[in-house]
Structure 1
Amino acid sequence: MSLLSFLFTLTTHALCLLLLVSFFAFLGYCAYVKYVHLKYDHIPGPPRESFLLGHSSVLLRTMKNDGLLLDVFLKWAEHYGTVYKVNMMHHVLVFVMSPETVKEVLMSSKYPKDIFVHKRLFSLFGERFLGNGLITARNHEQWYKQRRIIDPAFSSLYLRSLTGTFNERAEKLMTKLADVADRKSEARMLDLVNRVTLDVIIKVAFGMDLELLEDNSSPFPKAIETCLQGLVYNLRYVFFQFFPKNWAFVAEVRAACKLLRSTGADWIHNRKMAVHGGGDVPKDILTQIIKSAGKEESMTQEDEEFMLDNFVTFFIAGQETTANQLAFCIMELARHPDILQKAQKEVDDVIGMKREISYDDLGKLVYLSQVLKETLRLYPTAPGASRELVNDLVVADVHVPAGATCIFSSYISSRMEKFFKDPLVFDPDRFHPDAPKPYYCYYPFSLGPRSCLGKNFAQMEAKVVMAKLLQRFEFALTPGQSLEIRDLGTLRPKGGVVCAVTNRKQPGQ
């Protein structure tokens, strides 16, 4: 036999062996998928379109048509009840709206974040993103150490001291809007509140002045937008990065991650040098964290990396969610003149013509608090949480086996007739002090030990911005724009909330 014939025979045998191994591997995978079906098929849910793909094709079609996946999940919840399953190949997601189970799982520290979402948030296309920071850490002890270090930076005493910065940055937005009103041009409110909230978090957390309302050249707003877009693709299209047509965008996402993390590394290093050198340092969140970390018995290199993870978390979550809440709030007030007038009257009564809003003033803006809470009911900017079950649960008489990934969504439960009358109606009186409190079906900041650390910070900031806006301006949505929701991991108004803005006559004028 010639060498060529021998090589041909060897190659043929190798290919046959490879095909045989692949065939049996495929059969083994199919058997595993069947096992998963048998384990979870007693749980209600929509019929699968495919044995292997499950409901993936429905979700992919929705995304391809620019639809909102949350509305698909809401439709299924209304049809199948407060617990149902969704199959995606060998993965099973169990959606839970039962308030009792929401309370049991989210209020406990024993249920870790699920591994699939953790991996997709840890890095974007191989570039470390949120890592093992406060949002993503699965190990409780690891998370608790970080929370212990960061907690003092969000104490009520420190938050009180921030009202001056909130006022100062909000005034810059009012100056910008006054110019828009004078020129009789349109204001893209989502973009403007994005810039002012990013200015705030960079100032109060890291002591930096970027003046983003005036500077359109800063790379940070674009980097955040790119990371969030990459996050959606990384979560929902598992093989996205392997298609050549996507490589340019993948490179953009990786570069955006690198920019945020390298900026964070520089800022943290410089501040540490200043703190340890005994020099004058800003009394901001970063300084507080560095000092708290110095009190720990041990700080490893891994802990230092966690600090950088939390820098990126603050940079994005500390700005993005508040900005989106403000934009949705402006959109809904513009659609409901009666609610707008009521909110303006309260601001007139409490604030009058003052330019400096105090911490005590914020506590008196009760109706504005109701408006902001109702905004988060319809538009929870972080729409859900996921947990891995460590033991079997019975949810609404349905047995859910341990190991399942449970999805809890404030967006879904807040829009269900079961929990809220006329759920799609914007009605701030749902949150009147005398109204019954929603029972574990409204949790826009999550619940329990893993609830959002910055929720009080965010609501103080939102109140200051909205109070000044209501005090000084009338605003109306420009006709023809989309009022739909865009999902980038956080929810934002798809149309950007484009408004015509006019100066408001002050009381007594």
Structure 2
Amino acid sequence: MALWNLLLFVLFVLFVAFLGLCLYIKHCHTKYDHIPGPPRDNFFFGHSLTVRRVMKRGGNIHDKFLQWSEAYGPVCRVNFMHFVFVLVHCPETTKEILMSPKYSKDGFLHRKLFMLFGQRFLGSGLVTAIDHDQWYKQRRIMDPAFSSLYLRGLMGTFNETAEKLMDKLSDAADDKREAKMLSLVNCVTLDVITKVAFGMDLDILSNSSPFPKAIETCLRGMVFNIRDTLFQLNPKNWPFVNEVRESCRLLRSTGAQWINSRRSAMRRGEDVPKDILTQIIKCSEKEEHKTQEDEEIMLDNFVTFFIAGQETTANQLSFCIMELARNPDIMEKVKNEVDDVMGMKKDLSYDDLGKLTYLTQVLKETLRLYPTAPGTSRQVKEERVINGIKIPPGLTYMFSSFVSSRMDKFFKDPLKFDPDRFHPDAPKPYYCYYPFSLGPRSCLGQNFAQMEAKVVMAKLIQRFDFNLVPGQTFDILDTGTLRPKSGVVCNVTHRKYRK
């Protein structure tokens, strides 16, 4: 009898909890349903089922966000169970929110990136830190590693590492082998970031390494962790969940080893470069009473720079190669400029980069169509009115450069690859193009990334002709960052120099 009463009590508690959840979700619907948005798939799950369907077929959820934004206007409501956020592509609101330090990164995304399936991932590093003072302290200490003077000194490393890629492509051309460009440039950018940021020469182009696979696994895990709340509960997904955890542990244990080695060198009074690793350590050393959390934040920043420093640049380079191969007229213009600036020189100087104006336009147009980090978000605590629609306080605003850059209200014929949009005399896009975000939380490494991209592309164009292997898709693979789904497989041949 007692057991029966206990069972009835448990069922009653579950019923009350279920009823409370239903009432709360209904309250959220009542509070936010005046904001335009697509019909929900389900009372409980909102639009989560749509997102899961897109992910299951390997689609790009940002295409769905674009579709919704075009259908419902400059502010569009999206429901994930009881959680509601708004997609915003109003330039004035984008400017006001992103350019101001008063709006923090949203807590939902912070929680999802802090840990992956119970294993610490990006934690409270430079990208994910919510508290402004904590972020500002980290950013201020990191700034010297990205000063223009320091970046000038990296040209030798950029040239040297890019030269290793040229050797690989030369072998492929001689042997008439197909070149998987995404994989190759991934190795190049990872070699650059490990050498420039952490003082480690891995030479991943020539040696096998677990890091590229670990980064890709973490990013895939990040997407599922953010967009599929039930992913970890499915036993079929447990092997992958464990793989994600192992990849996180690999990156963080590697960071701990490299940090301890550098810290020992600093304590012995050895000369060490003013690179990212040194700045990460200095960031921690400024704490009077260091805690275990300070050690973890060092690893947070290590993982942040390790991934962000190579993944987005590699994807940009791959998309750029893909579009140049698809647009021979644009390719011809870039070749002429590279030939004029470089001639027969093997390496580029820092001053050469400023002369590659058309290549700069090509790289910017690549990021317009394919912003490798497609968007950002902010928590807005006050009530606002956008396009006549009252937005209650406390919502997360999602800003997507992918969405706004593909809307014809901002860019004529937006799906056409046209570098002349970024001609020096062309009007500048008004807060609808922000592949590196905007304002104080914009990407610290954007100048670093674009210098590296120019060196790699200029050397590639100077030395080789490349054509896409037929039968590839030009679809986008969404792994948190955006990358070419087919990997940009090319036939590469040596260029004949023009007289």
1:153 corresponds to which of 112, 128, 145 = 145
Residue 52 of structure 2 is aligned to residue 56 of structure 1: no
Residue type at the aligned position of 1:12: W
Instruction: Provide the rounded CA distance (Å) in 2 between the counterparts of 1:153 and 1:292.
Output: 12
- Tell me the CA shift for residue 67 of structure 1: 1.7
The match for 1:286 is: 277
Residue 424 in 1 paired to residue 415 in 2? yes
Structure-2 change in CA distance of 1:489 and 1:49 (3 Å): same
Paired position in structure 2 for 1:98:
90
- Aligned runs of 1:91-130 on 2, under 5 Å? 91-130=83-122
What is the CA–CA distance in structure 2 between the aligned matches of 1:221 and 1:423, rounded to whole Å? 32
Q: Distance in 2 between matches of 1:12 and 1:291?
A: 62
Distance 1:301 1:149, change over 3 A: farther
Structure 1 segment 68-467 matched on structure 2, within 5 A:
68-216=60-208, 218-291=209-282, 294=285, 300-467=291-458
The one-letter code matched in structure 1 to 2:325 is A
Q: Which segments of 5 or more consecutive residues in structure 1 lack a partner in the other structure?
A: 1-8
For 1:74-126, what per-residue CA distance to the aligned partner results, in whole angstroms no more than 9, with x for missing partners?
01111111111011211112000000011111111111111111111001111
Distance 1:295 1:404 in 2: 35
Q: Per-residue deviation at 1:286?
A: 1.7
In structure 2, what is the Cα distance between the partners aligned to 1:214 and 1:44? 53
Shift of the 295–32 alpha-carbon distance from structure 1 to 2, 3 Å rule, reads: closer
Offset at 1:304?
Answer: 3.0
Report how far residue 214 of structure 1 moved. 0.8
CA distance in 1, matches of 2:35, 2:235: 39
Shift of 1:305: 2.1
**Partner amino acid, structure 1, of 2:396:** T
Alignment CA distance shift 1:17-1:67 (3 Å):
same
How far apart, in 2, do the equivalents of 1:292 and 1:157 lie? 21
What residue is the counterpart of 1:65 in the other structure? 57
Percent identical among aligned pairs is 69
Corresponding residue SS for 2:179: strand
Cα contact 1:321–1:382 (8 A) shared by 2 = yes
Instruction: Report the CA distance shift for 1:288/1:61 in structure 2 as closer, same or farther (over 3 A).
Output: closer
One-letter code aligned to 1:204: V
For 1:144 and 1:189, locate their aligned partners in 2 and report how far apart those are by CA, in whole Å. Answer: 37
State the superposition RMSD in angstroms.
1.3
Distance in 1 (alpha carbons) for counterparts of 2:240 and 2:53: 21
Instruction: Verify the 8 A CA contact 2:187 2:205 in the aligned structure 1.
Output: yes
* Corresponding residue SS for 1:95: strand
Q: Is the 8 A contact 1:149 1:293 kept in 2?
A: no
- The separation in 2 between residues aligned to 1:499 and 1:337, in whole angstroms, is 14
Q: Report the more deviating stretch, 196-205 or 21-30.
A: 21-30
> For 2:394, what is the secondary structure of its paired residue?
coil
1:28, 1:313 → 2: CA distance?
39
- How far has the Cα of 1:373 moved from its partner? 0.2
The residue matched to 1:500 in structure 2 has which SS? strand
Q: Which residue of 1 aligns with 2:473?
A: 482
Count of paired positions = 499
Give the SS at the match of 1:30.
helix
Residue equivalent to 1:36? 28
Question: What whole-Å deviation, never above 9, does each CA across 1:279-325 have from its counterpart, x for those lacking one?
Answer: 24345332344356556666554333212111000110000000000
Partner of 1:469: 460
Residue 391 of structure 1 aligns with an amino acid whose one-letter code is E
**Alpha-carbon contact 2:75-2:86 (below 8 Å) kept:** yes
Verify the 8 A CA contact 1:153 1:289 in the aligned structure 2.
Answer: no
1:462-485 CA-to-partner distances (Å, cap 9, x unmatched) read: 000000001000000000011100
State the 1:63 CA deviation.
1.6
**Kept in 1: contact 2:48–2:227 (CA 8 A):** no
Please give the alpha-carbon distance, in whole angstroms, between the structure 2 residues aligned to 1:240 and 1:60: 10
Q: Which moved more, 1:367-376 or 1:55-64?
A: 55-64
Letter of the structure 2 residue corresponding to residue 448 of structure 1:
G
Change (3 A) 1:283 1:112: closer
Deviation track 1:158-187 (CA, whole Å, cap 9, x = no partner) reads 001001100000000001100000001100
More displaced stretch, 11-20 vs 372-381: 11-20
Task: Give CA deviations for 1:383-420 in whole Å, capped at 9, x if unaligned.
Answer: 01011111111111111111111110000000001110
Secondary structure at the residue paired with 1:445? coil
Partner amino acid, structure 2, of 1:60: R
Unaligned runs of 5+ in 2: none
Amino acid paired to 1:71: D
Q: TM-score, normalised by structure 2?
A: 0.98
Amino acid in structure 1 at the alignment position of 2:223: V
How far apart, in 1, do the equivalents of 2:284 and 2:78 lie? Answer: 42
Do the aligned partners of 2:466 and 2:490 also contact (CA within 8 Å) in 1?
A: yes
Distance 1:296 1:354 in 2: 48
Name the SS for the 2:142 alignment partner: helix
Residue from 480, 487, 490 that aligns with 1:499: 490
User: CA 1:98 to 1:279, structure 2 compared with 1: closer, same or farther past 3 Å?
Assistant: same
